[in-house]
Structure 1
Amino acid sequence: MSEDILDKKDTSNSPNEEHSDYTPAAAADGDVKHQLTGMYQNWFLDYASYVILERAVPHVNDGLKPVQRRILHSMKRLDDGRYNKVANIVGHTMQFHPHGDASIGDALVQLGQKDLLIDCQGNWGNILTGDSAAAPRYIEARLSKFALDVVFNPKTTEWQASYDGRNREPVTLPVKFPLLLAQGVEGIAVGLSSKILPHNFNEICDAAIAYLKGEEFRLYPDFQTGGAIDVSRYNDGERGGVVRVRARISKIDNKTLCITEIPYGKTTSSLIDSILKAIEKGKIKVRKVDDNTAGKVEILVHLAPGVSSDKTLDALYAFTDCEVNISPNCCVIDHKKPHFLSVSDVLRRSVDNTLDLLRKELNIRRDETLETLHFASLEKIFIEERIYKDKQFEQAETMDAACEHIDERLTPFYPQMVREVTKEDILKLMEIKMARILKFNKDKADEFIARMKADLEEIDNHLAHIVEYTVDWFARLKEKYGAHYPRRTEIRNFDTIVATKVAEANEKLYIDREEGFIGTGLKKDEFVCNCSDIDDVIIFYKDGKYKIVRISDKLFVGKNILYVNVFKKNDKRTIYNVIYRDGKEGYYYIKRFNVTSMIRDREYDVTQGNPGSKIVYFTANPNGEAEVIKVTLRPNPRIKKLVFERDFSEINIKGRQSMGNLLTKFDVHKISLKQRGGSTLGGRKVWFDHDVLRLNYDGRGQYLGEFQSGDNILVVMENGEFYTTDFDLNNHYDAGIRFVEKFDPEKVWTAVLYDADQQNYPYLKRFAFEAGSKRQSYLGDNKHSQLVLLSGEVYPRIQVVFGGHDQFREPLVVEASDFVGVKGFKAKGKRLTTYTVERIEELEPTRVPEPETDPEEIDEAVDNDVTAEDNDGQMHLF
């Protein structure tokens, strides 16, 4: 449903309507047959229009639903600076809102929990735990200072009669701020809904200023509950966009995870319920969950023994409400119709509205100041010229005659007036009391008139530069209230978590080869491997056919099974080495291939598909290993060599549909393994993506190198901590990384630090990091020690520039390798200076390490050396 509903409503009662309208007179006539279709069409459209316009969707001008607007209007009428009982506010709001007190009370609590317009006192519930507020008679509220500054101005408010005609209420409040974007809103109407996410107060002010200056701006959501958000598909808040929101989860140790921030729209109770459901389904292995939430979120997830904390962290995002997708839908009311806009459009319209309201306020102030100046000038002339002492004035028989005389006396001064003098002005002069005339002071009157003229000049300047004035308005709002609204939700890119990779292997896969069944319920049959209930299984048959199927309790897959295991999608490292016979009496072929993707339950063929084909040798190699096999042929007079060897490493890895290479044309007696081989794929090339703080094999981010089994990654943090990890993709890394690279235990590092234990003098140390998953600090045990620089150069040069009383000293340049020897990372190092230091910086090295030479290259060079005799008869080596 869209604005078409409201357009249809206007034409539904046209004279050419097919169905007759329902009327009370027709209802009273028992012989009349009513057309229910027409009644439904008219009444349903009336109802839909009412819900859209008067209940569920906010107005673009003030960003408020009708109930919220009426609550704020009632609170303004009650406002005296003190708190009011919420029950009292609800009662006053019912003068304007034709619904029950419960709906008004709920809307008021939701407004209060947003911590922007309402100053709350008492138990207003908890958005973190979902606890409800206390009863309205126990809690109190008043308008916040921000609301009093930006929401109300009766002089610029458009009014309308309330539903019963006894009171006036605002059509929209004159809000001078993009309130809709700051608070967010969610409403479900008839046929459409609105979901606008809250945004950061300071960023809204910055975006408004950028728009007024004609600059580009971007706005992204910010939630009171914190967490992290991926806005790559936000689509500026329009329909079709989506954001991913994650809880903030940290590792206390390898056995405990702590959730400290939750996704928007969730509570600690609902989050824990989703974790418990995932535990029940076997998605994750958790020993227990503790909820220690009070003022801040603290949910402790205790892991079962032997469970990876990194894998469990991913599983929490994949299978629980620790990660949720939110689809925004920016629907607002404008000119009595619903419109679908973007967040940027809403900001522009709101800022334009703010500019218009500020202009109106300035014009009102200008008119009021002109009136004040006008009467002050008249009063000054009236008293200074002693018109009230004039005999003709005193002897005037009627009021009209007196007014005519005053008008005549003032005529010479009319050119000085800001506007024409009216009879009302003269009557007002005649109301001046004698006490005021006696206390009149010419200097003070002149000073007051000068001040009014200065105010007028200032107002005229603001009106002439209304855009700059509006920019200053938003800047003042940010300066006054911005400190209370820091960004709580971190904006970052998320990696895509594949559920099958992080699901806990809580099931065991079995196979019944004789009957042709596989499944997790065949406890008495042959064990294959551990698996999860969302895995796929790949099955190879002896006739060369293969397929993938879904894990189940018991599934018939057929007999003659050769190999079965869990299937890993997009796995290019698992290589299948196969020898098959093409047809019943055909040739033998050898091939190597991987299987990265398949359609579930579709049958594929390793062979060429000829009848009687079969696999005679098969291995599955998780890291592309290539073995050497021995082939024994059946005796045949034409064959000179009955036994030969074949190395699979000589066979190229091709697609699964390739025919393969010819192994032999003769009958094979047997094929046996002679020697296991190594991987032909080389080491794993690993990259680190600093955006998502994860490793990948896809070339995203910083290249770390090629990793063999046993290689580690060194992680050095900004706070001086370091540790090493393997290159598993499930590893998690925290923000604040200074260096991440392939770990080299022989590499020497140079650090300059201020040692808090040694009066904060600068020290220089050289050391090598040690492998270990436990975090250690190379800055020492004192947390107040500060790192100045850390260098991985072989021959670093350090320059110390002096300051303070020692600023006239020449800078000290130190060759680190000559200054101090290499020691353990816990060593104190050597003090650089005791003088006052302004800064310490690293210079370009003057020495570089000699390139390492391969021993084979040295041998080759020696073999190629020649001798020659020069003019002095000596031998030289070239």
Structure 2
Amino acid sequence: MSEEKGNKFDRVIAAGENRYKVPGMYRDWFLDYASYVMLDRAVPYIEDGLKPVQRRILHALKINEDGRYHKVAGIVGDTMKFHPHGDASIYDALVSIQQKELLIDGQGNWGNILTGDGAAAMRYIEAKLSKFALEVVFNPKITEWVPTYDRANMEPVALPIKFPFLLAQGSKGIGVGLKILILPHNFNELLDAAIAALKGEGFDLYPDFPTAGIADCSKYNGGLRGSRVRIRATITKSDKKTLVIKDIPFGETTGSVIASIVAANDSGKIKIKRIDDYSSDKVEIVLQLYNDISPDKTIDALYACTKCAVTISPNSVVIKDGKPEFMTINDILSYCAFHTQDLFEKELNVTLSELEDDWHRMSLEKIFFEMKVYRVLENDAKTWEAQIDDVMNTMLEYQHIVKKPISNDDILKLVEKPVRKISKFDIKAADERLRSTEDQIAKVKYNLEHLTDYTIAHFKNIKNKYGAAHPRLTRIEEFENINAQKVVVANAKLYANFATGFVGLDEKNIDNATFVCECSDIDDIIVFMKNGDYYVTSVKDKTFIGKDIIHISVFKKGDNRTIYNTIYQDGKGGIYFVKRFAVTSITKNKFYNFTQGKPDSTALYFSANPNGEAETIRIHFRPRPKLKKTSENYDFANIAVKGRSSRGNIISRFPIQRIQLKAKGVSTIGGKDIWFDADINRLNDAQRGQYLG
């Protein structure tokens, strides 16, 4: 390896002015580096589900396996014989494997994935292979070996793991231009799915996280790029003033969750009186609320504004046939199931060959002693080779009894045995050993003929032995989307200068600011202007919308109860129209117009009605000759609510001088469903508490 690097540098140095050409360097070096990171560091191999450092750790543990715990410092040192990247990466990988509690048994302080506490130093903790690992991971007889990086030792290309370990443990890593994230799955469900795959039946797999929680896997899509899993902590209501967080989302710790709650509380999105963390081997974060704060609304706000809810985007990538390949979780599972079957075929063939060799050896021994062939050695012969030939010729008379050709090596092994008196008991024992070996051969051949059933029996066996220790921790269910704007506490005030068109939360930076309403700093606002333009945008400290603002309010997407009543003139000197409309959905940061869009159109009257009220107005016309009526009343209840793009109805062809409110109206739409929240003794329309009607 060092010679190859030296040759590359020599070429660059000798290239003169051409040594600075980037394309050649990129082609020759960067792609080599990218391939190295993919194949040797970041991406797991589909054959055993391991990255190289993980495989080398398990190999080092197996070499020193004696049933006792060993210092991790020693294990790391042994692994460095195979791994060229130092002790830190080995130690971190070893801790990560042990925390999955599947292949490595640990003794000492190995950290806590719930609280984020790190493991103790490597000199203080000990480890050994688990019983499960010893049963399903190793078999040197069918393992392919290659020299290590320094050619001083041999290491396995892939371990013959007879279990879908990659999907049980999960994997994550960052390659060159590629992020890998394979989520962990349930031990028992993987075995059931492997059995189904071998039977040709369908199966579904969903993640199961060691941190438990609740997962929405409706967009899991087999873990491919573009898939998404939403995860929430389990939050229960202990009493009217107390919430308890009992588990956390995957990838988070109690510390990160608490920090996010504190940040949301400090910004005013939620109101928490006190936080207590009693977590150890189980999560228990207790939140104390103020008397006037709804616990149900706070739970929704915690999901919307803190790390009590997270979204994970898996990207399932493995090394297959020497290159990265995107595969679904189901495809990986099926590959592992049939790969296990192939491994058993290799194991059984090796076992069959060994048994047949044993049967051949024992048969020759029986013939040699029972037929007194050893007496040939008592005959006179000129040379030792001649005696061997005589024994060979005599043994060949019994060739029809054995199944393999008798070789010179077989004869040499026979004559090297001490000639001893063979009793009747010895002959019977030899016959029993032969019959036992024949039974074993028959059993192995049967298993080879029924390889699928044999593999299924293996999966059932390890499920019966180890499955009870791996119950499902994560609950699978679909979530409803939580609109953060509806559940956060109003933590800000909205101000505006209606004439200049500036809007924002910072009163000091807006000249002649007028208070509009209370809001939160994550709300959207809708702004209407005199020329008919309206616009939805996120609230900011200060932003310019447009001059001559006539209405501002917090925008609620999907709100079909807020009805806007308006009278506008269609262009300069045009006809006057009246319309009622709702704005339920709109593209943010894009201008719309509720008039017909002619230049110089003007809104003469505008009102926003949160419950669809229809007021009565008095319209005063501009005086002119032969005008019969100088004013008239108009009730907005006489016009139906239509879409925001409709032009409305003609209300007058005569010039209007002014419009004034005569009487406030009542709602023209159906009643609103109301609930009673007994925890804070308040009515609400957010479906919290007892439904009243």
TM-score over 0.5 for the alignment?
Answer: yes
Structure 1: how far apart are the matches of 2:35 and 2:535?
Answer: 56
Q: Which moved more, 1:462-471 or 1:520-529?
A: 520-529
Residue 503 (str. 1) matches residue 488 (str. 2) = yes
Cα distance change, pair 636–709 in 1 and its aligned pair in 2 (3 A): farther
Q: Which residue of 2 aligns with 1:255?
A: 241
Could you say which structure has the greater relative contact order, defined with CA pairs below 8 angstroms and 6 or more residues apart?
Answer: 2
- Alignment match of 1:578 (pick from 549, 554, 566): 566
Q: Deviations over 1:679-731 (max 9, x none)?
A: 42x24xxxxxxxxxxxxxxxxxxxxxxxx4446799xxxxxxxxx99774464
Counterpart of 1:252 in structure 2: which amino acid?
S
How big is the shift at 1:606? 3.7
Residue 44 of structure 2: which of 19, 37, 58 is its match? Answer: 58
CA–CA separation in structure 2 for the residues paired with 1:441 and 1:118:
46
Identity of aligned residues (%): 50
Report the Cα offset of residue 369 of structure 1: 1.1
Stretch deviating more after TM superposition (174-183 or 72-81): 174-183
Contact kept? 2:568, 2:604, Cα under 8 Å: yes
For 1:205, the equivalent position in structure 2 comes to 191
CA contact (8 A) 2:675 2:686 kept: no
Partner of 1:35: 19
Structure 1 SS opposite 2:105 = strand
- Residue 422 (structure 2) aligned to one of 432, 437, 444: 437
Q: Is the Cα–Cα contact under 8 Å of residues 64 and 180 in structure 1 kept in the other structure? A: yes
Task: Tell me the distance in 1 between the aligned counterparts of 2:495 and 2:373.
Answer: 115
1:490 aligns with 475
Q: What does 1:226-625 correspond to in 2, within 5 Å?
A: 226-388=212-374, 390=375, 393=378, 395-396=380-381, 398-433=383-418, 437-438=422-423, 440-513=425-498, 517-522=502-507, 526-542=514-530, 544-557=532-545, 560-582=548-570, 588-600=576-588, 602-608=590-596, 614-625=602-613
What is the deviation of 1:457?
A: 1.1
Aligned CA distance change for structure 1 residues 727 and 451 (closer, same or farther; 3 Å): farther
Paired residue secondary structure (2:507): coil
Residues 618 and 98 of structure 1: CA distance in aligned 2, closer, same or farther (over 3 Å): closer
CA contact (8 A) 2:673 2:692 kept: no
Paired with 2:268 and 2:241, the residues of 1 have a C-alpha distance of 18
Match of 1:677 in 2: 666
> What is the SS of the residue equivalent to 1:261?
coil
- Aligned residue in 2 for 1:178: 164
Instruction: Map Cα deviations across residues 312-342 of structure 1 (whole Å, 9 max, x no partner).
Output: 3233223322222222222222333222222
Aligned-residue offset at 1:464: 0.8
Matches of 1:663 and 1:84 in 2, distance apart? 91
Query: What is the aligned counterpart of 1:218 among 197, 201, 204?
Result: 204
TM-score in terms of structure 2 length: 0.89
Alpha-carbon spacing, 1:515–1:456, altered in 2? closer, same or farther (3 Å): closer
Residues 32 and 364 of structure 1: CA distance in aligned 2, closer, same or farther (over 3 Å): same
Aligned equivalent of 1:115: 101
C-alpha RMSD of matched pairs (Å): 3.4
1: distance between equivalents of 2:34 and 2:528? 60
1:72 maps to what in 2?
A: 58
* C-alpha distance 33-602 of structure 1, shift in aligned 2 (>3 A): closer
| Cα deviation digits, residues 442-470 of structure 1 (max 9, x gap) | 33333322222111111111111111111
Task: Report the Cα distance in structure 2 between the residues aligned to 1:121 and 1:70, rounded to whole angstroms.
Answer: 21
Q: Check the 8 A contact 2:245/2:286 in 1, yes or no.
A: yes
CA contact (8 A) 2:675 2:685 kept: no
Distance 1:40 1:25, change over 3 A: closer
Q: 1:105 aligns with which of 74, 91, 114?
A: 91
Q: Is the 8 A contact 1:57 1:193 kept in 2?
A: no
- AA in 1 matched with 2:583: V
Deviation at 1:34, TM superposition (A): 6.1
Residues 710, 377 of structure 1: alpha-carbon distance in 2 compared, 3 angstrom cutoff = same
Distance 1:713 1:286, change over 3 A: closer
Deviation of 1:78 (Å): 0.5
Q: Do the aligned partners of 2:113 and 2:253 also contact (CA within 8 Å) in 1?
A: yes
TM-score, normalised relative to structure 1: 0.71
- Cα deviation for residue 506 of structure 1 reads 0.4
C-alpha distance in structure 2 between counterparts of 1:641 and 1:495, whole Å: 56
CA offsets 1:387-417 (integer angstroms, 9 cap, x no match): 33x3774545644344344344444432221
Structure 2, unmatched stretches of 5+, are: none
User: Mean alpha-carbon deviation: is it higher for 636-645 or for 297-306?
Assistant: 636-645
| Letter of the 1:141 counterpart | A
1:652 paired with 2:640, answer yes
Is residue 21–residue 39 contact of structure 1 (8 Å, CA) maintained in 2?
A: no
Counterpart CA distance in 2 for 1:36 and 1:512 is 60
What is the one-letter code of the residue matched to 1:275? I
- Deviation per residue, 1:491-541 (Å, 9 max, x gap): 222222333333331011234456654432337854322111222322334
Of 145, 168, 180, which residue of structure 1 is paired with 2:154? 168
Deviation at 1:208, TM superposition (A): 1.1
Give the direction of change, closer, same or farther, for the CA distance of 1:626–1:174 in structure 2 (3 Å limit): same
Query: d(CA) in 1 for partners of 2:393 and 2:682?
Result: 98
- Is the Cα contact below 8 Å between 1:387 and 1:393 reproduced in 2? no
Does the 8 Å contact 1:590/1:662 carry over to 2? yes
8 Å CA contact 1:531–1:566 kept in 2: the answer is: yes
Paired residues of 1:310 and 1:730 also in contact (CA < 8 A) = no
Aligned length: 682
Superimposed CA distance per residue, residues 808-866 of structure 1 (whole angstroms, 9 cap, x where no aligned partner): xxxxxxxxxxxxxxxxxxxxxxxxxxxxxxxxxxxxxxxxxxxxxxxxxxxxxxxxxxx
Return the offset for 1:268: 1.6
CA positional deviation for 1:613: 5.4
**CA distance in 2: counterparts of 1:510 and 1:23, whole angstroms:** 65
Q: Deviations over 1:563-585 (max 9, x none)?
A: 32112223222111233455676
- Could you tell me which amino acid in structure 2 is paired with residue 217 of structure 1? F
Shift of 1:116: 0.9
CA distance in 1, matches of 2:228, 2:175: 21
Distance 1:110 1:604, change over 3 A: closer
* Aligned residue identity for 1:380: K
Spell out, residue by residue over 1:130-171, the C-alpha distance to the aligned partner (whole angstroms, 9 max, x if none). 111111111000001111011111100111122222222111
Alpha-carbon distance in structure 2 between the residues aligned to 1:109 and 1:655:
61
Aligned residue for 1:592, secondary structure, equals strand
Q: Matched residue of 1:294: which SS?
A: coil
Greater percentage in helix: 2
User: Structure 1 CA distance, aligned partners of 2:151 and 2:188?
Assistant: 41
**What is the SS of the residue equivalent to 2:363?**
helix
When residues 215 and 713 of structure 1 are mapped into structure 2, their CA distance, relative to the original with a 3 A threshold, is: farther
